Amino acid sequence: MDEHWSVAAHRHFTAAGVRQVAYVPDAGLTRLIERCREDNAIETVMCATEEEGIGLAAGAWLGGQKAAVLMQSSGVGNTINAIASLIASAHFPMFTVVTMRGQWGEGNPWQVPMGQAVRPVLEAVGVKVFQADSADDVAPMIEAGLRMAFSTDQAVAVLVSQRVIGSKVWVADKTEGGQ
């Protein structure tokens, strides 16, 4: 495939009228975050923790704007009370893209428990989950997920599998910051 899924994802954000994008950085989200940051029609908000992004998205909706929240799978654990207590209780639409760790070929044992818990935990608080296991699945799932979230007032998560992003190979002498 020639086009990276992030390019199509950004195009679907624009087509759906997404105006705010909250994010906590992840290596797998780098290109999507960059595209959103370069887009003057989208206000990007860097959050210190993923829970903040859920609140931001609800506030955006109160003010008439659609938001998307971008996070790594470990961040899902930080969002659960906000999703249950705010999004589900008041029937807010919510749309999130989660780049996965702790599954396909994971090399860091500390990522596995939360990564494996993402889907059941999200479903337990009412989130509709689409998991993209191939790069070709990601953009259609984002397009469909955005429509479902904002047309039916549902919380929707698109999980981008580690199989799509690629797993890290851990080497003892590797330089820091290279993911």
Partner 1 sequence: MSGIVLQRREVLKAALADRGDTLFVTGLGSATWDLASLGDRPENFYLWGAMGNAAMIGLGLAIAQPERRVVVITGDGEMLMGLTSFTTIGARRPANLAVCVLDNERYTETGRQPTATGLGTDLAGVAAACGFPKAVTIRTAAEAAGLGDLLLRTPGPVMAVVKVVDEALPMAVPPRDGGYVKTRFRIGVLGEKAATLP
Binding-site ranges for partner 1 (CB under 8 A): 19-20, 43, 45-49, 51-65, 67, 81-82, 85-86, 89-92, 150-151
Residue 61 and residue 67 in contact, taking contact as beta carbons nearer than 8 Å: yes
Q: Which is nearer to partner 1, 55 or 168 (CB)?
A: 55
Label the pairing between strands 128-132 and 155-160. parallel
Q: Which is nearer to partner 1, 5 or 150 (CB)?
A: 150
Q: Which is nearer to partner 1, 5 or 13 (CB)?
A: 13
Instruction: Using alpha carbons, select from 77, 127, 79 the residue that is nearest to residue 102.
Output: 77
Q: Which residue has the tokens 């919510």?
A: 94
Q: Which is nearer to partner 1, 133 or 153 (CB)?
A: 153
Shortest distance (Å) from residue 49 CB to partner 1: 5
Residue 131 and residue 104 in contact, taking contact as beta carbons nearer than 8 Å: no
Distances from the Cα of 31 to the Cα of 7, 35, 115, 135, angstroms: 8, 6, 21, 14
Shortest distance (Å) from residue 170 CB to partner 1: 29
Shortest distance (Å) from residue 90 CB to partner 1: 3
Shortest distance (Å) from residue 126 CB to partner 1: 13
Shortest distance (Å) from residue 27 CB to partner 1: 21
Q: Two tokens at 68? A: 């998307």
Q: Which is nearer to partner 1, 108 or 152 (CB)?
A: 152
Residue 74 and residue 101 in contact, taking contact as beta carbons nearer than 8 Å: yes
